[in-house]
Amino acid sequence: MKILLHICCGPCSLYPLQALREEGMELEGFFYNPNIHPYREYLRRWEALHQVAEAEGLAVRHRWEYELEKFLARVAQFPSERCRHCYELRLEKAAREAAEGGFAAFTTTLLVSPWQKHDLIRQVAEEVAGRVGVPFLYRDFRPGYRQGQQRARELGIYRQPYCGCIYSEKERYARSRPDVARAR
Ligand code: SF4
């Protein structure tokens, strides 16, 4: 069965790739992630995915569409609900790519991360699949998360320190106030 694998980043692709190949699936990767900010971080993750693709013999589809403006327009008014919009934007693009490319189904490496909203990803992906008319292949890849990250370390693949958007970057780094720390 030919499956389109939406890939959020190189390290997260390693375990799903292995697991689905073990099931006998034929895979092609798809990189569409306008949620990765800033642009140089996006390029860094894109490069990391290419290292994985080369190491694992994976073909990757990529339309050079860095739709930062579209992403921000959708989430700026409702930052607390941003992940739903983020999943929808990315998975709808993947579903449409799968339909156009004649794939039997699509799935996503987002399902490997224990840090993501797993149930919401599944719900959004199933809604999108219904709208577009291409099946969503659900798997819980989370038990293989550590194994995938270990393999990424062995390959020397860049492992990003925050989820992707500027909101997640702020949450990761803006916990302490340098002005307060300096006054101590
Ligand atoms: S935190 Fe991650 S999943 Fe949520 S909107 Fe930002 S990039 Fe997307």
Instruction: Report which secondary-structure segment, H or E, holds 106.
Output: strand 105-108
pLDDT for residue 62: 82
pLDDT for residue 180: 59
Residue type, 122: R
Q: How many residues does the chain have?
A: 184
166 phi and psi angles, rounded to 5 deg: -65, -25
* Nearest ligand 1 atom to alpha carbon 35: 7
pLDDT tens digit string along 57-106? 999 998 778 999 999 999 999 999 999 999 999 999 999 999 999 999 99
pLDDT for residue 63: 75
Q: Which residue ranges have their beta carbon within 6 Å of ligand 1?
A: 35, 82-83, 86, 163-165, 167-168
pLDDT for residue 121: 98
d(CA 148, CA 33): 20
* Nearest ligand 1 atom to alpha carbon 168: 1
SS3 158: coil
- Specify the residue with its C-alpha closest to ligand 1, atom 4: 83
106 phi and psi angles, rounded to 5 deg: -130, 155
Residue-level pLDDT, tens digit, the chain, 184 residues: 999 999 999 999 999 999 999 999 999 999 999 999 999 999 999 999 999 999 999 999 987 789 999 999 999 999 999 999 999 999 999 999 999 999 999 999 999 999 999 999 999 999 999 999 999 999 999 999 999 999 999 999 999 999 999 999 999 998 766 665 565 5
Query: Can you tell me which residue has the tokens 């959708």?
Result: 74
* Nearest ligand 1 atom to alpha carbon 110: 3
d(CA 173, CA 170): 5
Which residues have C-beta within 8 Å of that of residue 41, sequence separation ≥ 6? 160, 164
CATH 3.40.50.620 fits 2-183, yes or no: yes
Q: Residue 102 Cα, ligand 1 centroid: separation in angstroms?
A: 29
Domain boundaries, the chain: 2-183
pLDDT for residue 182: 63
Q: For residues 136 and 126, is the Cβ–Cβ distance under 8 A?
A: yes
Q: Residue 107 Cα, ligand 1 centroid: separation in angstroms?
A: 18
Residue type, 30: F
Helix intervals (H) in the chain: 10-22, 39-56, 68-75, 82-100, 118-132, 145-155, 166-173, 178-183
d(CA 117, CA 83): 8
Spatial strand order in the sheet of 2-6? 60-61, 26-30, 2-6, 105-108
Q: Residue 167 Cα, ligand 1 centroid: separation in angstroms?
A: 8
- Specify the residue with its C-alpha closest to ligand 1, atom 2: 163
Q: Residue 24 Cα, ligand 1 centroid: separation in angstroms?
A: 31
pLDDT for residue 75: 95
